A and B are shown apart, each in its own frame.
Chain A
Amino acid sequence: MSAKFLQLIGLAVCIVAIQICTQMTDSSYYLTQLTMTAYYSLLVIGLCMLIGYAGQISLGHAGFFAIGGYMSAFLTTHDFTAIKGEPFVAFLSKIGVLVVRKDVYGGELLAFHSWPACILSVCTVLIVAYVIGGPVLKLKGHYLAMATLGFGIIIYRIVVGTSGLGAADGISGVPGFTLFPGVVISGKGSGRILNYYIAWGVVIAGMTFLLNLISSRVGRALSAIHGAEDAAEAMGIPTANYKLKVFVLSAGFAAVAGILLTHFNGSIGPSEASVMKSVRYVAIVAIGGMTSLWGAVFMSLILNYFSLRGSFGTYDDAVFGVILVLIMLFAPDGLIRRQILIDLKYFFRRFAKKEAAL
């Protein structure tokens, strides 16, 4: 049995243990934040793949998250009754893509079923990522950072400025995501434990996929690109192609995270698209050690959880800023890695030597 597999089982055991702990201490309300944390973690591991393994920074991932979330929210809440007669709409409702359901006021509403809305949203994000990824990933360094940042701001501005998307209020009243009859992703108290397991199940599935990807031909190609792009190119690795694929993949992770979290929360607001969110995700990846999926998951679990619980108070953003600066100054390779022990030993030995020299 490979170490990879054991680690995944370790994560699963942790997840179960946390749930049992909350059950025993009668504090299962913590699970709500832990579920939200799981969805953010899903985005973070996708981003980790892009930053750490392909070496491409993105300051616009909250944009993909928001496109996914907003689109799914819009499709499942927008009432299509007015254009019921259109042949295309009639066709959609006939095959079950559009369903009639009751809105919060008890009125009837003809809207998208959550599955087709989800698939449509993910596809949209993938297409957007593919279209902008082509030219964006040709850029390097500052130019890449600014281009992705620009993309994020554009999405934010569009979301805030469009009244159809609720402008500054966002979209609320989003129905739960019916995975299959009886299993619904929603924030209802009764489904709390189920939702907690669904969310972390999705994360574990994502991790399994990415870990396998890393130790495959693709993963080795990516680490070659990260190490020396020109050398990788000379060895016959289609670098541009690989970078684009990882970019699209990580955008897909962000989209799924956005969609599921929106259905779980029952709403989405423009703050999800803000630049600060994108920076947070990058911060978590950086603290986790850039090239460590496990570090990313672990740091995401801790930081997102405490942030969602409101432990940092009004210093929420400041905490992320401080962590970002400190980590990049003193431990640019991240905190969670085996190397840190060796470094510490090195540091103390040098320290001792200096004292001896004095």
Chain B
Amino acid sequence: MELLFQYIVAGVTYGTIYAIVAIGFNIIYNTTGIINFAQGEFVMLGGMTAFTLKEYMPLPLAIVSAVIITMIIGALIEMLFIRWLHKPSVLRMIIITIGLSILIRETALHIWGEGVTALPYFTGTSLSSVNLGGVFVSPQVFWAVGISSVVVVLLGVFFNFTLLGKQMRACSANREAARLCGISTQNMVTLSFMLSAAIGALGGCIVSPITYIQYDSGSQLAIKGFTVAILGGLGNSTAAVAAAMILGILESFSIWALPAAYKDVVSIAIMLIILFLKPSGLFGNAASARLKEY
């Protein structure tokens, strides 16, 4: 029974990071219709930058700076590579973002090398744990779940109750109409890249103590994040969180039945099955799905 809870806790921990990557996917997808294949690289950049910065400043400040730096990189990427393209085809956008992810990864390799980095635990050490009725949980798990929940709530508030958030939503609903209302759709796209870069970077900082980050962690996370985004239905961030928890827990239970090396195989197989059977996602609406192309 206790083992069961340990598995669930591990699953929730991984689920949190998947959720964060998936939300990053969704934000950009919603404003542009693009899947940013470089999303995982933002997570990696966040974790790595914070690791370097913490040598020079206290940890919270390092994390904040890392988030801001990644945000600026996100904005630069959008302005340099995407802003001025006129109605690019999906194929073109896929290849460009894949190319960008390779570039970011290789740059990171040359800056930080191949070594793994980990931020210190936010509170306590890797050995400290909180006893929850017989189940030992690392305090970092609470940080991860707590911060992610705050991020999800804040995003909800931002998109529903602020003018800027409403403008971004208008952009995703109907770009032409949004422009006619005087919304600068281009700025909204830049903003969406900044937002998702920032969220990705924050996610990278949170999980860095638990999972470690290295230059090529990004693509792994990107595919998981995409799986989760698909499971929840692309564009739906609340569903993505639920889907992330499901995938995280399924994955952690898969170690029970299969060798750990096949963990990724399980989650990607789940993604393929969902894509084949119900591309609108677990919580997607079948009726509205019929109107969309997959």
Where the two chains meet, the residues of A that have a C-beta atom closer than 8 Å to any C-beta of B are 55, 57, 59, 132, 135-136, 138-143, 145-147, 149-151, 153-154, 157-158, 160-161, 275-276, 279, 282-283, 286, 314-315, 317-318, 320-322, 324-325, 328-329, 332
Contacts and interface: CB of A to CB of B under 8 A. Distances in A.
Majority SS of interface residues in chain A?
A: helix
Given A140-B294, A150-B268, A325 B96 contact: yes
Given A146-B35, A150-B272, 6 more contacts: A136-B272, A143-B279, A146-B271, A154-B269, A279-B98, A325-B96
Contacts of A132: 272
Nearest to A51: B91
A305 B294 CA distance: 38
A158 B261 CA distance: 8
B265 A139 contact: no
A103 B168 CA distance: 66
B290 interface: no
Contacts, number: 114
Interface stretch (B12-20, B100-108, B147-155): B100-108
Contacts of B268: 150, 153-154, 157
A350 to B, nearest CB: 15
B136 interface: no
B47 to A, nearest CB: 21
Interface in B263-277: 264-265, 268-269, 271-272, 275-276
Interface in B71-97: 81, 85, 88-92, 94-96
B219 interface: yes
- Most chain B CB within 10 A, of A55, A142, A286, is at A142
A275 B35 contact: no
B51 interface: no
A279 B223 contact: no
Majority SS of interface residues in chain B?
A: helix
B35 A142 contact: yes
Interface string B204-222: 0000000000000001000
A102 B35 CA distance: 52
Contacts of A314: 110
20 contacts: A55-B91, A138-B294, A140-B90, A140-B293, A141-B91, A142-B94, A143-B275, A146-B35, A146-B226, A157-B264, A275-B219, A282-B95, A283-B95, A318-B103, A318-B106, A325-B81, A325-B96, A329-B81, A329-B85, A332-B88
A161 B35 contact: no
B271 A321 contact: no
A329 B272 CA distance: 30
Contacts of A332: 88-89, 92
Interface string B1-41: 00000000000000000000000000000000001010000
A321 B99 contact: yes
A141 B33 CA distance: 11
Interface in B100-145: 100, 102-103, 105-107, 110
Given A139-B279, A157-B262, A161-B261, A325 B219 contact: no
A150 B266 CA distance: 11
B58 interface: no
Interface of B: 35, 37, 81, 85, 88-92, 94-96, 98-100, 102-103, 105-107, 110, 219, 223, 226-227, 230, 259, 261-262, 264-265, 268-269, 271-272, 275-276, 279, 293-294
Contact of A142 (B90, B259, B262): B90
Contacts of A142: 35, 90, 94
A143 B294 contact: yes
Contacts of B276: 135-136, 138
A132 B227 CA distance: 18
A183 B135 CA distance: 66
Contact of B95 (A143, A160, A315, A324): A324
A328 B227 CA distance: 26
Contacts of A283: 95, 99
Contacts of A57: 91, 94
B194 to A, nearest CB: 20
A153 B264 contact: yes
A318 B99 contact: no
Contacts of A150: 223, 227, 268, 271-272
Contacts of A55: 91
A328 B91 CA distance: 10
Contacts of A135: 275-276
B96 to A, nearest CB: 5
Given A141-B90, A146-B226, A317-B106, A325 B100 contact: yes
A154 B168 CA distance: 36
A153 B99 contact: no
A154 B272 CA distance: 10
Contacts of B272: 132, 136, 147, 150-151, 154
A318 B89 CA distance: 24
Nearest to A158: B265
- Most chain A CB within 10 A, of B89, B105, B261, is at B261
Contacts of A328: 92, 95-96, 99
Contact of B99 (A138, A141, A324): A324
